[in-house]
Amino acid sequence: MRRRRAAVAAGFCASFLLGSVLNVLFAPGSEPPRPGQSPGPSPAPGPGRRGGRGELARQIRARYEEVQRYSRGGPGPGAGRPERRRLMDLAPGGPGLQRPRPPRARPLPDGAPGWPPAPGPGSPGPGPRLGCAALRNVSGAQYLGSGYTKAVYRVRLPGGAAVALKAVDFSGHDLGSCVREFGARRGCYRLAAHKLLKEMVLLERLRHPNVLQLYGYCYQDSEDIPDTLTTITELGAPVEMIQLLQTSWEDRFRICLSLGRLLHHLAHSPLGSVTLLDFRPRQFVLVDGELKVTDLDDARVEETPCTGNADCILEFPARNFTLPCSAQGWCEAMNEKRNLYNAYRFFFTYLLPHSAPPSLRPLLDSIVNATGELAWGVDETLAQLEKVLHLYRSGQYLQNSTAGSQAEYQRLPDSTIPQEDYRCWPSYHHGGCLLSVFNLAEAVDICENHAQCQAFVVTNQTTWTGELGERTS
């Protein structure tokens, strides 16, 4: 059974500058495209401040080698064995990609690897299902936003499914700062695009219910840049903390449970322990109430090398932690602990305890306190979150909290109480009082504790945990 939740979606005009937007899907800027806008001339190549083209080529090769490592298996402790299926097959007619023509030779900075990068023999699979052909007749294109490197668009595929498209932001800080330094627009694009390629590889290698799904990718010439990369992914809603604080505890707990499951997966992934260096709510999205990580270009697999505990200081704005240096010369569980403390300071401390059932609050407080002190690892944290779910789903949290009612209620089958609703908080319906209950006894208990409640209606709607819906009046 699933908890249902009403939502109102704003409509968008299908003709939202579609032709201009589609042109930018492969070379997006930080703002929606304007009619008649044309790209400016490429800056002339210059020597740069740090070795010119040679330094740019070195950075491109470093990112290229990082992508190749993640394609084959992560280095360091706990790395998985290489897989032998391809993530990408760039040959014409290959799986998951329809290319309009074979790749052409391009001038590159000295020492830089070719672009598009050829897949290695250990690239993972199975390959993505969608390619360039899927993007030829999209509709409803909408600019969603951009960050340091990438811009994101929402489009609807010919079959009706809505997906997200990610591409390098041509007006973004990452590409702009590189062009100002090196004066090589194409080389700088390749440098930035390798971050998008890295994210694509990690989305494929780290498949999990709480990792955004990669549907496909496309290489296409755009503006003055050949072979620009666009990835096609699952579409999610941004995480807005202010809005989350106004939702029910049950939905907020679901987000924390999703995060706990994700961190457990990252700590035990096929690549080894993965840490998210840029861990903020904006790196996640919500898909049908589940939290999913979407931004992985700043993820890291390698544990921190050390010669002593002084090399294993985990620094945060409010406090620092010193972790042990293992006999093998790695800071023990630093990737895992970094993720866990960020989960505490961005999510758990705000979403877990507030308005929780009273009998669950001691256990929730222990989860918040233990993660805030890094007293637990992700395994114990997830075990305790799953325990909370069991207590809540089974109704055991009610054993000591519902007393016998002193009032008498008359059962009225197939009845409603129109225009007698009142507002309560938190509620699934902001215009009234719609709550979730485990059984009739809990519904009676809630009504007894609301001074305005004179009656309630038990609906046939259920939540993601199987709880019933109750509308009070």
C-alpha pair distances (Å), 243 with each of 207, 232, 246, 350, 433: 28, 27, 5, 12, 18
Active site residue 110: no
Q: Which two tokens stand for residue 275?
A: 């840490």
For 280-336, strand residue ranges (E) read: 284-287, 290-293, 299-300, 313-315, 320-322
Could you tell me whether strands 290-293 and 284-287 are parallel, antiparallel, or unpaired per DSSP bridges? Answer: antiparallel
Q: Which two tokens stand for residue 259?
A: 């995060």
The C-alpha atoms of residue 412 and residue 409 are separated, in whole angstroms, by 9
What residues contact 460, with CB distance under 8 A and at least 6 apart? 468, 469
The C-alpha atoms of residue 184 and residue 298 are separated, in whole angstroms, by 24
- Chain position carrying tokens 């595929």: 157
Catalytic residue among 89, 278, 298, 445: 278
The C-alpha atoms of residue 78 and residue 267 are separated, in whole angstroms, by 9
CA quadruple 128, 132, 135, 136: dihedral sign: negative
Yes or no: say if 116 and 227 are a contact pair by the CB < 8 Å rule: yes
Tell me the catalytic residues.
278
